Amino acid sequence: MAGSKKEIGTGFITEVDRYLFNNGRHYEIFEKMGAHPKKYKGKNGMYFAVWAPHAEQIGVVGDFNSWDPEANAMMPLADSGIWEAFVPGIAAGELYKYAITTKSGKILFKADPYAFSAEYRPGTASLTTDLSDFQWGDDAWMDKRGSADPMNSPMSIYEVHLGSWRRKNRPEKDGCYTYVEAAKELADYVTDMGYTHVELMGIAEHPYDGSWGYQVTGYFAPTSRYGTPQEFMYFINYMHKKGIGVILDWVPAHFPRDAHGLSEFDGEALYEYADPRKGEHPDWGT
């Protein structure tokens, strides 16, 4: 059975990938899951992969197919709960979701948990992107970090929430600084104050501003409130070139119940405990 299912796959996710994923030891799984520009059978397009072991069927939907759940069906890969599809003709900048048909026949429209980019709120779709063309310039920083002794090096951290640190007098995105705008001013401030590191609060994609980024719907997507993934990469690159380390907060303990997010992702408890005594934070609604 495993052999027959493996043969109909694209080959982008291998048997070794699935083995490591099933054992919780695929530490570069973000390179496989989500949406990635690929060439398949001579055609350029986008490869999609999502984990939904309880689903009856899944379709990739977006403006490119009028959000039709049956237009671009995904296929299950053996022994993994992973579904995949290659959609030719799609490039970066396309909104998309997964239309997941549950065992009860209900169709759930879910954002991609592994997406690198997301639609700006109140939109809830994921966004295809291509990160391959960014040119990093932080080799000196990375070399220095690799040879440093962290146990005996001075460390002083400036924790900051980008959305409320400083704002511009403009209506776009509530005046929030972009990643590019914040980079220079924040680097100058941190350097003047003698800090060695910046710690960004709740930078992963989240639907509710009031959570300060601590109710996440996209763990691999820097929030679109402040710009694109490439602009976020610019921010990191700039900080490193100025000799400043960057620490990212992330939230493994809870996520919101928003319909497009991780809650009952494929119609059943998947990312959460099925038992509500463990699976719910009643005080937070997460």
> What pLDDT digit, counting tens, does each position of 161-197 carry?
999 999 999 999 989 999 999 999 999 999 999 999 9
Is the residue at 129 inside a domain?
A: no
Is the residue at 16 inside a domain?
A: yes
Mean pLDDT, residues 23-45 = 96
Bridge partners of residue 126, in order along the sequence = 96, 118
Is the residue at 55 inside a domain?
A: yes
Domain match, 101 and 143 both: no
User: Is the N-terminal amide bond of 122 cis, ω within 30° of 0?
Assistant: yes
Is the residue at 256 inside a domain?
A: no
Domain match, 151 and 227 both: yes
Higher-pLDDT residue of 251, 160 = 160
Domain match, 143 and 244 both: yes
Burial 114-152 (b: 16+ CB within 10 A, else e): bbbbbbeeeebbbbbbbeeeeeeebeebeeeeeeeeeee
Q: Which of 188, 196, 182, 209 is nearest to 245 (CA)?
A: 196
Distance of CA 120 to CAs 43, 104, 128, 142, Å? 30, 31, 13, 32
Q: Which of 102, 99, 55 is nearest to 80 (CA)?
A: 55
Q: Which of 76, 29, 34, 84 is nearest to 55 (CA)?
A: 76
Domain match, 96 and 196 both: no
Domain match, 6 and 97 both: yes
Tokens of 109: 């429209």
Q: How many other CB atoms sit within 10 Å of the CB of residue 178?
A: 19
Is the residue at 280 inside a domain?
A: no
Is the residue at 277 inside a domain?
A: no
Element (H, E) at 173: none
Domain match, 147 and 75 both: no
| Predicted confidence (pLDDT) per residue in 191-245, tens digit | 999 999 999 999 999 999 999 999 999 999 999 999 999 999 999 999 999 999 9
Q: At 112, phi and psi to the nearest 5?
A: -80, 115
Bridge partners of residue 88, in order along the sequence = 45
Whether 28 shows a pLDDT value over 90: the answer reads yes
Is the residue at 282 inside a domain?
A: no
Domain match, 99 and 152 both: no
Render 88-153 in DSSP notation, one character per residue: ET--TT-EEEEEEE-TTS-EEEE--TT-S-BPPTT---EE----TT-----HHHHHHHHH--GGGS
Total of domains in the chain:
2
Q: What is the CATH number of the domain that holds 29?
A: 2.60.40.10
Tokens of 101: 């048909």
| Predicted confidence (pLDDT) per residue in 64-123, tens digit | 999 999 999 999 999 899 999 999 999 999 999 999 999 999 999 999 999 999 999 999
Burial of 155 (0-12, 13-18, 19+ CB in 10 A): exposed
Is the residue at 258 inside a domain?
A: no
Structural domain of 87: 2-110
Per DSSP, the three-state class of 49 is: strand
Predicted pLDDT at 39: 96
Mean pLDDT, residues 12-34 = 96
Whether 7 shows a pLDDT value over 60: the answer reads no
Domain match, 170 and 97 both: no
Q: Which residues contact 158 (CB under 8 A, 6 or more apart)?
A: 189, 190, 193, 195, 197, 198, 199
Domain match, 156 and 60 both: no
Predicted pLDDT at 150: 86
Whether 5 shows a pLDDT value over 90: the answer reads no
Domain match, 189 and 102 both: no
Tokens of 223: 């929030």
Q: What is the CATH number of the domain that holds 186?
A: 3.30.750.90
Predicted pLDDT at 8: 59
